Structure formats: C-alpha cells, structure tokens
Amino acid sequence: MTEEYVVLVDNQGEFQGLQEKMAAHKQGALHLAFSVLLYRNTTSGREYLLHQRALHKYHSGGLWTNTCCSHPRQHESIEQAGIRRLAEEMGITEVTSLSDIGHFCYYAELDNQLFEHELDHVLVADAGEIKVVPNADEVMDYRWWSEEEIKQTLKTQPELFTAWFCQVFAFATK
C-alpha cells in the first residue's frame, strides 16, 4: 500500500505543503478535505444518502456520516476528488458533477488519539437514479435518511454521527 498525503493549507485555503495522512491526523495539522452529500427529492420530502463508517476505519468507525468524504490529492480539484471517492467508497459512478456550496474549518479530537483539523468543502448533488455498491473496507451500512429524521437524530443522539457531519448537513440545508 502506498503512502497517502494530504494537502496542508492555511485558514484561507492557501497551499502550505504536503504531509503523510496519518502524521497529519496525529499532529492535528490543518489540511484540505471534502464532504459529499447526495440527496434526492421524494413525494415525502428531501432525503440524504448517509453511510456508516466501517468499524476498522482509522477513526470514527461505526459512526454515520455524509455520503462520502476524503482528501483531494495534490493537483486534483475538489470536485474531481469527490467524484473519485464516490466511486471508490460507495461504488457510485452515475454522478458526474458536484456543486461546492461552501466550506468550513474545524478541529476535533477523535478516537485512536487522532485529530481532524480540516478546511472542509461541502459538495452536493441531486443523486437521481443511482446504484450504490459500497466498499466494505470503507462502509459498514448505508441508507437514505429524511431531512427531518437527520435533524431529530442530531438533536437526540448526536454521538451517532461523525464530528464534521452536523456542519456538513447545516450547509446542505441552508
């Protein structure tokens, strides 16, 4: 397995260098990230495709989160990275365009003595008809959640979700 690197940035998103992914998460170095949230409109309202992270992930295993998330590679656009990870993580190949609706910076202490310190771009798309074939190395479960169900569960059981999800969801529902 080859080493993965993250793109280090300052608070304005300006390139500061590269760092090996696990080292960045151990040190809490600010790096570029993205969170994809696919939605669909149904007769009963808008639904969002969430996934439950595989238990053996390096952090946040078993928690629910947006459709997929990761880090762009050097010289890869945020949108290209999102489309790549939709295929790698969720087996979704029908989505060919994503809208970057904004970004936020956050810092969170995670399990396994790791930290997330990310400038996270929120990417959304209307999923339409898609086929989901999740990668078992990444995903334990997935399903469509209604907007109201997400809101209610965030209020009553926020511990079921990843540290970044509430902010991603807030951007998507503005």
- For residue 169, the surrounding DSSP H or E stretch is helix 165-172
Instruction: Read off the tokens for 29.
Output: 């170095």
Active site residue 118: yes
Task: Report which of 75, 73, 74, 86 is spatially closest to residue 35, judged by C-alpha positions.
Answer: 86
* Residue 71 is labelled as binding a ligand: yes
For residue 67, give the DSSP letter. S
Annotation-wise, does 31 bind a ligand? yes
Q: Which helix (H) or strand (E) holds 107?
A: strand 99-109
Q: Is 121 annotated as a binding residue?
A: no
Name which of 149, 163, 173 is nearest 65 in CA terms.
Answer: 163
Options 68, 69, 79, 138, the catalytic residue = 69
Q: What b-and-e string marks burial along 89-120, b requiring 16 or more CB atoms within 10 Å of the CB?
A: bbebeebeebeeebbeeeeeebeeebbbbbbb
Q: Is 51 annotated to bind ligand?
A: no
What residues pair up with 153 in beta bridges, in sequence order?
A: none
Which member of 47, 68, 79, 118 is catalytic? Answer: 118
Q: Say how far apart CA 101 and CA 82 lie, in whole Å.
A: 13
**Residues of each annotated binding site for Mg(2+):** 89
**Residues of each annotated binding site for Mn(2+):** 25, 31, 71, 116, 118
**Residues of each annotated binding site:** 25, 31, 71, 89, 116, 118
User: Which residue numbers are catalytic?
Assistant: 69, 118
